[in-house]
Amino acid sequence: VTGRAVLGAAYEGPPGCVHGGVIAGLFDELLGVANIAAGVGAMTGTLTVVYRNPTPLYTALTLEAHTVNIAGRKVRTVGTLFAGDRLCAEADGIFILVEHERFATHTRAHGADPT
């Protein structure tokens, strides 16, 4: 999957740059969508983000992710974040497959409708 974004002042960490926590959150969502696109929706087990260069605010960003492999219940998915040609960050995630009925039961127990 590919995503594009321009982030403004609300996402600022260091002066003129996107906050690292925002980048981690973007990757968590993006890698999850890559898994869904691959037909393996799963929950985040671990997410490792390597920050290569500061991510500038008010700049067109490109995020890409793809599922690498599935081993049992573990799904490995990776992603990148670029500002133009500059690699700003990389992510590597391990996601855990959860049976839909188990997730639905948990959701209902906490007062929400899983459908």
Only one residue has tokens 């490995």, namely 76
**Can you tell me the distance from the alpha carbon of 109 to that of 111, in angstroms, rounded to the nearest whole number?**
6
Q: What is the pLDDT of residue 105?
A: 75
Contact indicator for 59, 48 with CB cutoff of 8 Å: no
Largest CA distance in the chain: 47
Q: How many CB atoms lie within 10 A of CB 53?
A: 13
Only one residue has tokens 């087990």, namely 45
| pLDDT by position in tens, the chain (length 115) | 999 999 999 999 999 999 999 999 999 999 999 999 999 989 999 999 999 999 999 999 999 999 999 999 999 999 999 999 999 999 999 999 987 776 677 677 887 665 5
Q: What is the pLDDT of residue 97?
A: 95
Q: What is the pLDDT of residue 106?
A: 67
